[in-house]
Amino acid sequence: MSRRVAVEKNLSAIGDHLAMNGIEVERIDTADLTPARLRSYGAVVVSGQNTNFMGMEDIKGEIPVIEASGMTPDEITAAVKERLQLQG
């Protein structure tokens, strides 16, 4: 599984927090993602504003998608590490 995490561009503070915790982050514009590109990430962090993530609900079963809505940066980092099976 890839250890690279895609983070929606509008969640720059979350991306910065993940990077400070040793996670490889790529900021993305969800409109530009394709299913093939999406599969190159170990997880994706989105704002949660779009319940049907890019119209690709079937992808969510394959790639951990973390909806940041209502979560703190520490909670999101813990969720990403859990899904990537990282320690600490």
Q: What ranges do the domains of the chain cover?
A: 4-84
Q: What value does the mean pLDDT take over residues 32-57?
A: 73
What does pLDDT average to over the chain? Answer: 82
User: According to the model, what pLDDT value does residue 1 have?
Assistant: 52
Name the CATH topology of 4-84.
Rossmann fold (3.40.50)
Radius of gyration from C-alpha coordinates of the chain: 12
Angle between helices 12-20 and 73-84 (to 10 degrees): 60
Q: What value does the mean pLDDT take over residues 24-42?
A: 84
| Residue 12 near residue 27 (C-beta atoms within 8 A) | yes
Question: Alpha carbon 4 to chain centroid distance?
Answer: 9
